[in-house]
A and B are shown apart, each in its own frame.
Chain A
Amino acid sequence: MEEHTQHLFEMLSQVDGYIYPNELDLQWGILIVLYPYITGLVAGAFILASLERVFKVKVLKPTYHIALLTALSFLLVATLPLVSHLGKPLRAIEIMITPNGTSAMAIFGFIYLWYLMVVLLLELWFDYRRDMVIWAQQMKGFKRFVYRIFTLGVNDLSPKALRWDEKLGYFITIIGIPSAFLLHGYVGFIFGSVKANPWWSTVLMPVIFLFSAMVSGIALVMVVYLIISYIRKMKVDMKCLDMIGRYLLIALILDFSLESLDQIHRIYEAEESFEIISLLMSGQLTYTLLVFQVLLGTIIPLIVLTILQFYKKNIRLRQTLYMVVGFIVLIGIFFMRWNIVIGGQLFSKSFHGFTSFKLQLIGSEGILMAGLWLIIPIFILAFLLWLFPPWKKTEETAY
């Protein structure tokens, strides 16, 4: 009992003002921050790919397959931070077997499955089928085995069959755009619909999530494209890079405007929760919100990207700047998710106090675990690029 009391005193030292007992510990840590972050990367990367295919922005062609494979690598891992957060991974299947119709989270399982099975895998399959048939005949060993399985045993490369691939692939990309919006808009909805939490509860949340997803997804594809070009010693297509930069700028402006609108709305409305939220923003979230998210993740990239719209001289410098911008935007969006997920749990629902959050290094909710879930998709991407190299696709189908 004494030990328990000592623990209580220790816990109380992390509290400011008045909070309810169940608000002392944060239930959602860094793994839940990763959930919207990774899903956002997927949706954003896919939207960039669809710009090329559906909206005919042909200059983005070099990144089309990279964007799709990046989206797939991250999508495969998107739910794993949640599963590891739950601690009982085998129970994850329950959400699919006996979904509760009134739970927002339960329906996400099906949205995820739809996006994985019907959109992303099928689009890639139609894109790569011709190449897989050809590669299955050329290659040996493991690769040949995998391609054989993926072609479903059909080697039909007749013009009719290829036309079907082309048309169905296009059709799926069209379905894919609203699906990508749904995937990440839904994650925003899960947070935005928590009416008890004034930091989350706003109708703008799905839209903000969507635009921040585009920002992070485009930035990720830009960084991946630059790194791949560097490793493979390929010449970077500057027209493509400039176009990605332009879309990143547009997405950033829209995202920044929406988030500002949300904040201005809060400030002008000044509801009863406003005082605690303004204390939260100027206190506990100073660094993560004002420095990392706004300054590093938004304002500096906005300035640099605007300059890059006019500055066209030194190619090497431009590439370096795009790389740096890509990275700081990715950091900025990570902290945007952090500020939402962690920030929303730091203040008491009584609006009279704060708890605090200390991130662990090791353990199931620590930095190392989070790092693991961010590194695994990169390995998956490397594997997928090895198995399905976009640069080895035959010209006719190199969509």
Chain B
Amino acid sequence: MPKHIRRLLLLFAVLITLFIIVRQVLIPDSFGQFGHYRGLALEENKAHVARYVGTDICAECHWETMELKTADMHAEISCETCHGPGWKHIEEPEQGQLTIPEGREFCGTCHSRNPARSASLIAQVNLSDHNIETNCSECHNPHAPWN
């Protein structure tokens, strides 16, 4: 076998070995622990601060609003659906103020008329002719819309 072919084979052998070594170095230790992914990723995700705290936490301070809400149509809707994630508000109640949504379009996200949404499941109005000048919350308390 001529010298240049031997050199070529040697080069390929070096490249393949290099690939195997690089692969060994780059694959994280916990890879494949539970499946085709890095096992430690689960731990890392678990360590993240939960941004959505859940209705029960809100109820610890805002129990009056919660009583109102649970008695009406929005009982099943989590506080943070409208007010956004509450984690900052929990840590610093004064600085981390939550948003209070305003405007007809916001309510319209669920309640504007849409033929694809069942009218028996969710109350819908045509935003362009239903009390146009008025904000929804002037007539409906968002926590208890039928109250």
B116 contacts A by Cβ under 8 Å: yes
Which residues of chain A come closer than 8 Å to B101, judged between CB atoms?
A: 1
- Chain A: residues with CB nearer than 8 A to chain B? 1-2, 5-6, 8, 18, 93, 97-98, 100, 117, 122, 125, 129, 151-154, 156, 158, 160-161, 164, 168
How far does the Cβ of B33 sit from chain A's closest Cβ, in whole Å? 13
- Chain B: residues with CB nearer than 8 A to chain A? 1-5, 7-8, 11, 15, 22-23, 26-27, 31, 36, 99, 101-103, 105-106, 108-109, 116
Known: A2-B105, A100-B36, A154-B3. 20 other contacts (CB 8 A): A1-B99, A1-B106, A2-B102, A5-B106, A5-B108, A93-B26, A97-B23, A97-B26, A98-B36, A117-B15, A125-B8, A152-B4, A152-B7, A152-B8, A152-B11, A154-B7, A156-B2, A156-B4, A161-B4, A168-B5
Q: Are A18 and B116 in contact (CB under 8 A)?
A: yes
Which residues of chain A come closer than 8 Å to B31, judged between CB atoms?
A: 98
Q: Which of B4, B15, B36, B106 is the most central at the interface, judged by chain A CB atoms within 10 Å of its CB?
A: B4
Which residues of chain B come closer than 8 Å to A129, judged between CB atoms?
A: 4
Which residues of chain B come closer than 8 Å to A98, judged between CB atoms?
A: 27, 31, 36
A164 to B1, CA, bound (A): 8
List the 4 closest A-B pairs by CB distance, nearest first.
Answer: A154-B4, A152-B7, A161-B2, A5-B105
How far does the Cβ of B5 sit from chain A's closest Cβ, in whole Å? 6
A151 to B2, CA, bound (A): 13
How far does the Cβ of A367 sit from chain B's closest Cβ, in whole Å? 34
Which residues of chain A come closer than 8 Å to B108, judged between CB atoms?
A: 5
* Nearest B-chain residue to A103, judged by Cβ: B36
A201 to B15, CA, bound (A): 38
Q: Are B8 and A2 in contact (CB under 8 A)?
A: no
Q: Are A5 and B109 in contact (CB under 8 A)?
A: yes
Partner of B3, one of A5, A18, A156: A156
A8 to B114, CA, bound (A): 14
Q: Are B7 and A164 in contact (CB under 8 A)?
A: no
Which residues of chain A come closer than 8 Å to B106, judged between CB atoms?
A: 1-2, 5
A43 to B50, CA, bound (A): 50
Which residues of chain A come closer than 8 Å to B116, judged between CB atoms?
A: 18
Q: Are B2 and A164 in contact (CB under 8 A)?
A: yes
A2 to B108, CA, bound (A): 10
* Nearest B-chain residue to A158, judged by Cβ: B2
Which residues of chain A come closer than 8 Å to B3, judged between CB atoms?
A: 154, 156, 161
How far does the Cβ of A90 sit from chain B's closest Cβ, in whole Å? 11
A122 to B4, CA, bound (A): 12
Which residues of chain B come closer than 8 Å to A117, judged between CB atoms?
A: 15
Which residues of chain A come closer than 8 Å to B8, judged between CB atoms?
A: 122, 125, 152
Q: Are A6 and B105 in contact (CB under 8 A)?
A: yes
Which residues of chain A come closer than 8 Å to B4, judged between CB atoms?
A: 129, 151-152, 154, 156, 161, 164
A1 to B26, CA, bound (A): 42
Which residues of chain A come closer than 8 Å to B22, judged between CB atoms?
A: 97
A5 to B106, CA, bound (A): 7
Which residues of chain B come closer than 8 Å to A153, judged between CB atoms?
A: 7
A161 to B3, CA, bound (A): 8
A5 to B4, CA, bound (A): 68
A158 to B3, CA, bound (A): 11
* Nearest A-chain residue to B22, judged by Cβ: A97
A122 to B15, CA, bound (A): 14
* Nearest A-chain residue to B7, judged by Cβ: A152
A67 to B73, CA, bound (A): 71
How far does the Cβ of B91 sit from chain A's closest Cβ, in whole Å? 23
Q: Which of A117, A151, A154 is the most central at the interface, judged by chain B CB atoms within 10 Å of its CB?
A: A154
* Nearest A-chain residue to B23, judged by Cβ: A97
Which residues of chain A come closer than 8 Å to B5, judged between CB atoms?
A: 164, 168
* Nearest A-chain residue to B2, judged by Cβ: A161
A1 to B84, CA, bound (A): 10
Q: Are A97 and B27 in contact (CB under 8 A)?
A: yes
Can you list 29 A-B pairs with a CB-CB distance of less than 8 A?
A1-B101, A1-B106, A2-B103, A2-B106, A5-B105, A5-B109, A8-B109, A93-B26, A97-B26, A97-B27, A98-B27, A100-B36, A122-B8, A125-B8, A152-B4, A152-B7, A152-B8, A153-B7, A154-B2, A154-B3, A156-B3, A156-B4, A160-B2, A161-B2, A161-B3, A161-B4, A164-B1, A164-B2, A168-B5
